[in-house]
Structure 1
Amino acid sequence: MTTKRIVIISAGLSTPSSTRQLADRMTADAVSIMRERGVEVEAQVFELRDLAHDITNHLLLGFAPPKLQEALDAVATADGLIAVTPIFSTSYAGLFKSFIDVIDPQALTDLPVLIGATGGTSRHSLAIDYAIRPLFTYLHAIPVTTGVFAATSDWGNGGDGVRSLPDRIFRGAKEFAELVERTDRSDLVSDPFALDRPVGHLVGGFTGE
């Protein structure tokens, strides 16, 4: 059975958090769909609130403490990413953007991404397409077509109608699962100490031939 690794990052600031709740529901649907298709899934969740001090220190000092490095390594080697942020002042949270800023610029290349966002009213839903999606596209990730926005009024919806939150979550999760299943990023994980030329070129041009 094929095994895929997905990483979930939640930028909610409160406990409990509607952002984490949305991330959990998106993850549950994506994992369920992949397993139904015969794909085993390993899911790892990171609450950015718990990494806030480490992220700030990395921005200031240029190195990642162990817990933050674990999250960065997990993203770099993942087969898919579920990224969920609250919307503040019409855009993603500063903590969310700060985490993206400390990721290696090449780490998101060809990475399938399911985007989620939460906010007080549905008028903030466009932030997914004018703020969050361009961010991941710029970093050469592959955001799926459906982004999932959850306003306060969406919680407790019974699921009636094609525009309900459960339906949007399922649609996005299905697109994500299908993309993760057919995406192979194994050739992007390389040894940072590997040489792209024979070592003889570094010692007087000797090639061993």
Structure 2
Amino acid sequence: MKLVVVSAGLSVPSSTRLLGERLSAAVGQQVPGVEVEFVELRELAVEIAQNFVSGFPGAGLRAAFETVVAADGLIVVTPVFSASYSGLFKSFFDLLEKDSLAGKPVLVAATGGTARHSLVLDHALRPLFSYLRAVVVPTGVYAASEDWGAQGLPERIERAAGELGTLMRGLSVARVPEARDEFEVVVPFEQRLAALGGGTTG
């Protein structure tokens, strides 16, 4: 299975990238053997801008789109700017083809300088990916500057990773033989989400 982390961090090193790494490592504990790939939007900023002007993605941006669309699960992480996701983050997802994320499990996460911006998860990120028809896991993860090394963040990471891992495993099609043929048994998303319970956003 393939897990893709889309990181919109701008600095090097980046707390946004670090949060993506922590989350993907936790998912790896839930889904053994999962392949993890990172898409760094900072490296694609020029191509994203050119795509808006020309209408055509460059080679790097096209490859990033293909990587995201092929993923079995997504972790999306953005720094908070003006109490919302960054413009670079939003621009990337604006350029994806319609319905590219339909039915895809997504874990939303964000980083910021203060805990006051934690509502960005529910007020900006969750509505965006719901509009894109992705399946957003119940628990989002926000990390303020003071959260690193403090109690609470590791627990939220583990809980969110567990929810994403459950959805990713649920997407694996179980093949049940019947006579000479096989048919696919797919568990509806509503049942998979119900099995996760009522996770909280943090």
Q: Distance in 2 between matches of 1:76 and 1:46?
A: 12
**1:180 deviation in Å?**
0.8
Q: CA deviation at 1:65?
A: 0.8
SS at match of 1:15: coil
Post-superposition offset of 1:41: 1.0
Counterpart Cα distance in 1 of 2:82 and 2:172: 36
Larger Rg: 1
Distance in 2 (alpha carbons) for counterparts of 1:80 and 1:110 = 10
CA distance in 2, matches of 1:148, 1:14: 20
Q: Are 1:171 and 2:159 matched, yes or no?
A: yes
Equivalent in 118, 128, 144 of residue 125 of structure 1: 118
Q: Could you list the per-position Cα deviations for residues 99-125 of structure 1 after superposition, in whole angstroms to 9, with x for gaps in the alignment?
A: 001111111000000111001111100
Query: How much does 1:144 deviate?
Result: 0.2
Alignment partner, residue 26 of structure 1: 23
Secondary structure of residue in 1 paired with 2:75: strand
Q: What percentage of aligned pairs have identical amino acids? A: 49
Whole-angstrom CA distance in 1 between matches of 2:38 and 2:131: 24
What are the ranges of 5 or more consecutive residues in structure 2 without an aligned counterpart?
Answer: 174-202
Query: Which residue does 1:41 correspond to in 2?
Result: 34
Question: What is the aligned partner in structure 2 of residue 205 from structure 1?
Answer: none
Structure 1 residue aligned with 2:9: 12
Using the alignment, how far apart are the partners of 2:46 and 2:98 within structure 1?
Answer: 21
Rounded to whole Å, the distance in 2 between the matches of 1:184 and 1:174 is 16
Instruction: Identify the range of structure 1 (70-79 vs 145-154) with the bigger mean alpha-carbon deviation.
Output: 70-79
1:113 is paired with a residue whose SS is strand
Counterpart pick for 1:113 among 99, 106, 111: 106
Could you tell me the TM-score, scaled by structure 1's length?
0.81
Which digits, 9 at most, give the CA deviation of each residue in 1:144-187, with x for residues without a partner?
A: 00000000000122x4xxxx1000000000000000111259xx
2-side partners of 1:100 and 1:184: how far apart?
25
* CA–CA distance in structure 2, aligned partners of residues 50 and 27 of structure 1: 20
- The residue correspondences of 1:47-196 to structure 2 (distance < 5 A) are 47-157=40-150, 159=151, 164-183=152-171
1:32 deviation in Å?
Answer: 1.4
Q: 4+ runs of 1 displaced by more than 2 Å?
A: none
Q: How many residues align?
A: 173
Structure 2 CA distance, aligned partners of 1:19 and 1:30?
A: 17
Root mean square deviation of aligned Cα: 1.1
What is the CA–CA distance in structure 1 between the aligned matches of 2:52 and 2:128, rounded to whole Å?
18
Mark the runs of 5 or more structure 1 residues left unpaired by the alignment: 186-209
